[in-house]
Amino acid sequence: MKMGLLFLLIIISVAVAKGQQAGYYIPSSQTYSTTSIANYVQSYFKTDREKLGAIYAWVTANIRYDKDSMYNINWGTEPDEKISATLRRRKGVCENFAVIFTDICLKSNIPSFAITGYTRQSGSIKKIGHSWSAVYLDKEWLLCDPTWDAGSGNNTSYFLVSPEQFIETHMPFDPLWQLLPNPLSQKEFSRGSFFLKKDTTTWNVADSVLVFMQLDSLQQLEASSLRIKQAGLNNDLVKIWRSYVDMKIAIVYGDKDMNLYNEAVADLNRASNIFNTFVQYRNKQFMPAKPDTEIAGLLDPIYGILIIANTKLNNIGREVENFQYDTENLKSRLDALKRRVREQQYFLKHYLESSVAERGKLFYK
């Protein structure tokens, strides 16, 4: 009986150890969202290195690579949608591995960034895109590829790898994310020339990444597009990715133009309401009565609103050519309202300068 119980405990301990992957274990009940996973990680693991180990172990053990489940690079889906789909299906491709790992890290207060690029395997360039992650640990940036370690148990060959070693197999489209003071050119990467000596340092990695991480999403896209162009569009993968980045930039500016146009329309409507309210009050011969000083200022807010609306229209199409919004027609409507306001102000000036006995006659001229 005792031997049987001992044997059972040994089997259970081995099974648990396998499931925990070298001591890292997250209950399935806590894996319904990246927030719940991050909350568990922060509660049960102390150091950032332990937290990263737990996150990486969970992702590589519980997400299955499935190239038929979606496109190798899912161009159109937002990160939140990719994450929720990956958690629901428990499978995906490299991009799904990278975004879910990165998201859990960020929610565990560990700086991280999902990187897209391409790889070099068995001495040749793979002609498909690939995604991986960078994490900030102990005052340095390191690289992780959960896709390449997926399903490998305790084997973590691509976990917390130095940039100098990682560049032998992974080339990011944005050279910043080589995380090297002297980034390799794409030609050097293709040839496998990883150890060329360079006399000068191109940039300070830590400072450059810090500046980048403090930018908003649009600024990050613009900075990345510029660096990619400066590094050289030397293969089709890089050209396609830069076109994709530029398309995302255009979409953001397109959304901004849409908001500016809609706000200008709202400004016109607001100004028109003020004008119409004045006209209705004038048609009632300014009854009920108000002090002259108050009547004199009834139309004043309109001019400020029209200036703001015109400024918004002038900003449309500054970054991306505008083919969608008829700003000239809207400007014409703003100008027409401005002329009508001037006509009413002329009447108002004449009214306020007239005697009380003469004012009533003005309404019938």
List, for residues 77-114, the tens digit of each pLDDT value: 567 777 888 888 888 899 999 999 999 999 999 999 99
Position 102 scores a pLDDT of 96
Domain 12-199 has CATH 3.40.50: no
Position 15 scores a pLDDT of 39
Q: Which long-range contacts (CB under 8 A, 24 or more apart) does 281-290 make?
A: 282/344, 282/347, 282/363, 285/360, 285/363
Q: Which residue has the higher pLDDT, 4 or 252?
A: 252
Position 2 scores a pLDDT of 46
Question: Got the DSSP string for 60-108?
Answer: HHH-EE-TTSS-SS-TT--HHHHHHHHHHHSEE-HHHHHHHHHHHHHHT
Q: In which element (H, E) is residue 134 found?
A: strand 130-137
pLDDT at residue 12 greater than cutoff 70: no
Q: Does the pTM exceed 0.85?
A: no
Mean pLDDT of the chain: 87
Position 200 scores a pLDDT of 61
Local confidence band at 197 (pLDDT 50, 70, 90 cut-offs):
low
Position 321 scores a pLDDT of 77
Q: Which of 245, 217, 250, 211 is nearest to 231 (CA)?
A: 245
Computed on alpha carbons and rounded to an integer, the radius of gyration of the chain in Å comes to 32
pLDDT > 90 in the chain, percent: 64
pLDDT at residue 315 greater than cutoff 50: yes
Are 304 and 338 within 8 A, CB to CB? no
Position 198 scores a pLDDT of 62
SS3 content of the chain, % helix, strand, coil (to 5): 60, 10, 30
**Distance (Å, whole) CA 41 – CA 311:** 49
48-87 residue pLDDT tens: 999 999 999 999 999 998 865 444 445 455 677 778 888 8
pLDDT at residue 316 greater than cutoff 50: yes
330-362 residue pLDDT tens: 999 999 999 999 999 999 999 999 998 888 888
154-184 residue pLDDT tens: 778 899 999 999 999 999 999 999 999 989 9
129-152 residue pLDDT tens: 999 999 999 999 999 999 999 887
Position 190 scores a pLDDT of 87
Position 13 scores a pLDDT of 39
232-259 residue pLDDT tens: 888 899 999 999 999 999 999 999 999 9
Local confidence band at 10 (pLDDT 50, 70, 90 cut-offs):
very low
CB burial of 63-93 (b: ≥16 within 10 Å; e: otherwise) equals bebeeeebeebbeeeeeeebbebbbeeebbb
Position 11 scores a pLDDT of 37
